[in-house]
Amino acid sequence: MTKTKTQIKTVKIKECVPNSWNPNEMNARQFASLKKAITKFGQTKPIQVGVWPNMKVKGGYVIVGGYHTWKVLGELGNADIEVNVHDFKNEDEAKLYGLTDNIHGSNQQLKLGKLAYELTQNGYSVKEIAQNLGEEDVNVKDALDLVQDEIEKKMAELKKAERENFVALNFIWTQAIPVKQTQKLCHVHENSVYHWFREFRLHLPQFEPILEGIVQMDEAYFKNVSLLMAKQVDSKKLTSQMIFKNSVDKKEAAHFLFQFIQPKTQLHTDGAGIYRGIDHWWQVTHRVDIHKKFEFGLTSEIEGMFGNLRTFIRRMYHHTTPEYLPEYVSEFCVRFCSPEIFESPHTYLQKTL
């Protein structure tokens, strides 16, 4: 790939849009560490964004590297962000840059191996992967072997630490068996069950798909926190965001759209004031259900998801607190979007190690 023209400048956060092709892999612990560092030191380097002819995003930039930095700065309330703008020839060139940007640094071989492993699962050969990434065939093969070695190493460590209970508890958790039932099955203390369930939960990847087509969006309120959630109709695409106060304002609703809703989407909401005029903030066609008039057809799927979330928390964990609610919501979303992760302990470890 030839080197693209670049320009470093400061732009509005809302002008940057996540790409729809590059998996964003960062677990809750890693994201919390990044947020702590940015809170303390601020943005230390520009994120990578791109433009190219005939791109869907008009008058903005597509993020090809540094998505989580952008997300943290948005959550911290920053209006501006420093970016390195790449002038790509087309979307394929942007995709290739995004892939190569993901495999730099001290963990290059592990990242390359994990990327290569995922691509081989999708039918790509080692030769095809090497050509696309600008790597030698032997380097890709070595990286794949390294990932296999790393998985085996992790498995050996896990077997050494509470071998019997770990496997049993992981199987039980993947099958969504409640805490109380788990105590009886494994004969362990309730605190141990909560501890291990949390360990499994915190290693789940963050899935934040970009929704398009027809999308339903709604909000819910809990003690000291609020939740925004949206679902792409007739799909397994679901995304959410916690707001750490008792209400959601129009600015926060709009920022949610900037992050997760593709421009030119048809957006369905209820008649809450935070959505009024939302189509002036983002390129969506807005339609409304007025619930007091018993209109529910446009928001039935997202209303159902909130009901399913409450049932999941009550059944699985019995209760929650504001401290753990974001984790439970994240687990619920991953279980809905990627049920294949929870087929067995083997599939869970494959996807999370």
| pLDDT for res 192 | 84
The number of distinct structural domains making up the chain is 4
Residues 157 and 266 placed together within one structural domain of the fold: no
pTM for the structure as a whole? 0.58
| pLDDT for res 107 | 46
Q: Residue 181 is part of which domain span?
A: 163-206+341-352
Q: Rounded distance, CA 346 to CA 167, Å?
A: 10
Residues 97 and 187 placed together within one structural domain of the fold: no
Residues 242 and 332 placed together within one structural domain of the fold: yes
| pLDDT for res 134 | 65
Residues 82 and 188 placed together within one structural domain of the fold: no
Q: Rounded distance, CA 289 to CA 249, Å?
A: 19
Low-confidence ranges of the chain (pLDDT < 70): 1-4, 21-25, 99-111, 122, 133-135, 148-152, 154-164
Residues 157 and 167 placed together within one structural domain of the fold: no
Residues 234 and 86 placed together within one structural domain of the fold: no
| pLDDT for res 133 | 65
Residues 239 and 147 placed together within one structural domain of the fold: no
| pLDDT for res 104 | 45
Residues 348 and 201 placed together within one structural domain of the fold: yes
CB 95, CB 50: distance < 8 Å: no
CATH number for 333: 3.30.420.10
Final residue in a domain of this structure, among 102, 123, 153 = 102
CATH number for 133: 1.10.10
| pLDDT for res 125 | 83
CB 271, CB 30: distance < 8 Å: no
Residues 179 and 229 placed together within one structural domain of the fold: no
Residues 202 and 348 placed together within one structural domain of the fold: yes
Residues 127 and 97 placed together within one structural domain of the fold: no
Provide the sign of the torsion angle of the four alpha carbons 277, 278, 279, 281, taken in this order.
positive
Q: What is the pLDDT of residues 311-350, one digit of tens each?
A: 999 999 998 888 899 999 999 999 999 999 999 988 998 8
Q: What is the pLDDT of residues 33-51, one digit of tens each?
A: 889 889 988 999 999 999 9
Query: Which of 35, 14, 21 lies closest to 326, judged by CA?
Result: 35
Residues 223 and 331 placed together within one structural domain of the fold: yes
CB 16, CB 60: distance < 8 Å: yes
What token pair was written down for 273?
Answer: 């004031």
Between the alpha carbon of residue 146 and those of residues 41, 78, 108, 120, 142, the distances in Å are 34, 40, 11, 15, 6
CATH number for 57: 3.90.1530.10
Query: Is 6 buried (19+), middle (13-18) or exposed (0-12) by CB count in 10 A?
Result: middle
